[in-house]
Structure 1
Amino acid sequence: MTGTRTHLTGERAPCGRLGDADRSQEDDFEGFRMDDVHYACGCRRIRHEFHDGSVRIQTVRHDGKILLDEHSGDHEA
């Protein structure tokens, strides 16, 4: 599995705040991909693609409120 981490500046978080963020991406080149963004305010965006082709996308505000939680296919993460 390979991965990268990137520091971003001036990103708009799900709560609307502007600030820094860290983006982590991983790929096993067999169908699993992960793309997570953690914002300075505490918000988070997650996108995971699984080996069976299903996808999970989740957006969580810094106070813990889930703004989006979608799952495609039958996979439960």
Structure 2
Amino acid sequence: MTGTLTHFTQERAPCGRLVDGDRSKDDDSEGLKFDDVHWACGCRTIRHEFHDGSVRLRTIRHDGKVLMDEHSGDHEA
């Protein structure tokens, strides 16, 4: 996997604060992609694309509250 880590300043976190943070991107060139953002306040967003084409999206506020948790591969029985 190839990856990059990029630092950013003063972007709006999911909690609404303007804070610094880091974005980590990884890719295996075969369909697996990770794009994770961590803000200095503790908020996080996670986007993972899997080999089967499904996508997982999560947004977690700095206090641990999950604001969004979706997976395109989730099906109801």
Unaligned runs of 5+ in 2: none
* 1:34 paired residue number: 34
List structure 1 runs of 4+ shifted beyond 2 angstroms. none
Distance 1:74 1:29 in 2: 24
TM-score by length of 1: 0.94
RMSD: 1.2
* 2:3 paired residue number: 3
Quote how far apart the aligned CAs of 1:74 are. 4.3
* 1:55 paired residue number: 55
Count of residue pairs the alignment pairs up: 75
Report the identity percentage: 76
Unaligned runs of 5+ in 1: none
